[in-house]
Amino acid sequence: MTFKQLEALYWIARLGGFAQAANQLHASQSAISKRVHELELLFDTELFDRSQRTARLTEKGEEMYVLAQKLLAQRDAAIEQFGKPGVVERRIRIGVTELTAMTWLPRLVGLIRQHYPKVILEPDVDDSLKLRDKLQADELDLVIVPETFADSRMPHKVIGKVKSMWMCKPGVVPAAGTMRLHELARHRMLVQGNSSGTGRAYDAWMKEQGVQPADVIVVSNLVALTGLTVSGLGVSYLPRQCLEPLVAAGMLAVIDVTPALPLVHYVAMHKGEHRSALTSSIVMLAQECCDFSRMFQAQPAEEDEVRAAAEG
């Protein structure tokens, strides 16, 4: 019996089919079928009910699945505990929001590659709601999302925060001192929907303030939201620091509004049964480099190289 055979059975059962398991394990479907067949020959019993259209475990298959789950977890734990970081081989499926991908994700990837060169990252950029659902469905190992979508059933740790401000194209809102939130709500508002952690947090906050905008356009994509705001189609809440270049260029204007928007905290979240030394280490690396203040950050050495090339 080999770990490859156990992995084949495990992922077929988890994902519901031989093709899905082959994709997960980066193997051909025939190779996956062969591994299962070898297991069945070894124990002289059928592990899957082949009379069904979907891959359904037999009673003995269920027992083997539970055993495979334990053995694979013990293997991973042993590798992480006794192996050097540089030799740990794992695939980590990590989900992030658009803002993370546009700011500090390159730096996180660099740190992971530096500490764990043999770990293969499989990134997924999506809205917070879908990322949480994928985590619950075991389609991701770790997600980094606004705290709005933190689930008490899953371990999570705060790794950073984002400060947003109301912004618009210069001239859309008169620059005349501080504006009350209910006054701003008379303008068309460009907002993120409830599938966005930031959108859900600020929607709830505005309701707490007793403010219900009359004219709202929901935009789920942050780049598109910024583009519509720059185009003068309304006012929007946008991350303040990383968009400073657009403010400095006169493409966006910051609106002084009271009360100010609350900070949005970001968390790293994973399922309890998937906790591992590697996952915990990646969460610590995320805490170390989480920084929403600049676009497309890289490792300091890489940034120095880019700067030197530009100056040369």
**CATH classification of 3-82 is 1.10.10.10, yes or no?**
yes
Task: Output 119 or 169, whichever has higher pLDDT.
Answer: 169
Q: Does domain 87-161+265-311 have CATH number 3.10.20.30?
A: no
> Residue 143 has what pLDDT?
96
pTM of the complete model: 0.75
Q: Residue 82: pLDDT above 50?
A: yes
164-262: CATH number: 3.40.190.290
Q: What is the pLDDT of residue 214?
A: 87
Residue-wise pLDDT for 122-141, tens only, equals 999 999 999 999 998 888 99
DSSP the chain: --HHHHHHHHHHHHHTSHHHHHHHHT--HHHHHHHHHHHHHHHTS--EETTSSS-EE-HHHHHHHHHHHHHHHHHHHHHHHHS-GGG---EEEEEE-HHHHHTTHHHHHHHHHHH-TTPEEEEEE--HHHHHHHHHTTS-SEEEEEGGG--TTS-EEEEEEE-EEEEE-TTSS---S-EEHHHHTTS-EEE--TTSHHHHHHHHHHHHTT---SSEEE---HHHHHHHHHTTS-EEEEETTTTHHHHHTTS-EEE-EESPPPPEEEEEE--GGG--HHHHHHHHHHHHH---SSSS---HHHHHHHHHHHH-
pLDDT at 90 over 90: no
What is the reported pLDDT for 306?
47
pLDDT (tens digit, 9 = 90+) per residue, 211-251? Answer: 999 899 999 899 999 999 999 999 999 999 999 999 999 99
Residue boundaries of the structural domains of the chain: 3-82, 87-161+265-311, 164-262
pLDDT over threshold 60, residue 311: no
Output 240 or 14, whichever has higher pLDDT.
240
Confidence check: pLDDT of 175 > 90: no
Residue 8 has pLDDT above 80, yes or no: yes
Q: Do domains 3-82 and 164-262 have the same CATH topology?
A: no
Lowest mean pLDDT among 44-48, 81-85, 114-118, 179-183: 81-85
What does the mean pLDDT of the chain come to?
88
